[in-house]
Amino acid sequence: MERKVISFDDLIEKVLDRAELAISKNNFSQARQWYEKACNLYSQHPTGNLFIESRKYDLYLTLFER
């Protein structure tokens, strides 16, 4: 079985996708957990990707400012 190597940007985006999916299912506690995982990954490996920053901010507003 061959392993695929992905970048940290791709990994963080996949975690953010999971958070958005949980929101779409009205599972906000699970979404917060995925959001926190994405933030932890990003803090360990900041890439400066503005798209990820924007998605994190949008999720923050959805999860914590409602």
Q: Is residue 21 part of a domain?
A: yes
Predicted model pTM: 0.84
Number of structural domains (the chain) is 1
Q: Establish if 54 belongs to a structural domain.
A: yes
Please determine, for residue 66, whether its predicted confidence score (pLDDT) is greater than 80.
no
Asked, for residue 3, whether it belongs to a domain, the answer is no
**Is position 13 within any domain?**
yes
Q: Rounded to an integer, what distance in angstroms lies between the CA atom of residue 23 and that of residue 30?
A: 8
Q: How confident is the model at residue 29, as a pLDDT? A: 95
Angle between helices 28-44 and 8-24 (to 10 degrees): 170
In a domain, 1, yes or no: no
Q: pLDDT for 32-47, tens place per residue?
A: 999 999 999 999 988 7
User: Residue 45 is part of which domain span?
Assistant: 8-64
Distances (CA, A) of 12 to 8, 21, 35, 66: 6, 14, 10, 24
> Is residue 47 a part of any domain in this protein?
yes
pLDDT at 3 over 70: yes
